[in-house]
Amino acid sequence: MPLVENGKIVEDRFVRIGADDPIPDRVPVIVPAARFLAEADALTARDGSLGVAWPNNRRVAELKPWLGHLTLIALEFPKFRDGRAYSQARLLREQYGFRGTLRATGDVLRDQFQFLTRAGFDSFEVRKPADAAAFAKSVARYSVVYQPGADGSLPALRRRLQRAGAASVPKES
């Protein structure tokens, strides 16, 4: 599957590990949620980057104790119209302060790219090579946003006030 990270089509350096597969040392891996929770202490102590494939029907609060050990969280979109992973991404970025890679996996469509980015995703597994190119190209398409989001973009009003040298810029809610 093509992978887009930070606006570029890249080779995936992570290896997906199954529920019973051996885990290689010093190799970046993504493990299923159930295995991660069952073996969290051993997995977080291993030598190598660690990611977890997290389904959208589990609470991300379960990951809180291990967020500092995770390099990547792959949030799953089983169907394009199921948006629970958007909420999970916002919670991970804004409430839990996760700064690692958030990857959108599953039924990820090119029309959702801007919404995914605004929710905090910075990595996308896409099914078609043409979609990967569209994702990579669309990163620079929009430079102005109107609402606060998890991607850290400054909304238009705050930009305008900062340029005008306003003494007090209203705080985002």
Please give the domain boundaries of the chain with CATH numbers for all domains: 3-141 (3.20.20.70), 143-173 (no CATH)
Task: Please give the residue that has the higher pLDDT: either 162 or 172.
Answer: 162
Query: Can you tell me the distance from the alpha carbon of 159 to that of 80, in angstroms, rounded to the nearest whole number?
Result: 33
User: Would you say residue 165 has pLDDT above 80?
Assistant: no
Per-residue pLDDT at 64: 96
- What confidence score (pLDDT) does residue 1 get? 76
Average pLDDT over residues 32-44: 95
Question: Kind of pairing, strands 8-10 and 15-16?
Answer: unpaired
Q: Which two tokens stand for residue 126?
A: 């896409």
pLDDT the model gives residue 72 = 98
The arrangement of strands across the sheet holding 8-10 comes to 8-10, 3-5, 123-125, 101-106, 72-77, 50-54, 29-32, 15-16
**pLDDT for res 70:** 97
* Residue 158 DSSP one-character state: H
- Listed range (28-32, 106-110, 153-157) with the worst mean pLDDT: 153-157
pLDDT in tens, 79-115: 888 889 999 999 999 999 999 999 999 988 877 888 8
Residue range 38-47: average pLDDT? 93
Alpha-helix residue ranges (DSSP H) falling in the chain: 33-38, 40-45, 84-90, 113-119, 129-138, 156-163
Residue-by-residue DSSP string for 97-123: ---SEEEEEES--GGGHHHHHHHT--E
pTM: 0.81
Is 83 in contact with 75 (CB distance < 8 Å)? no
pLDDT at 13: 94
Confidence of residue 8 (pLDDT cuts 50, 70, 90): confident
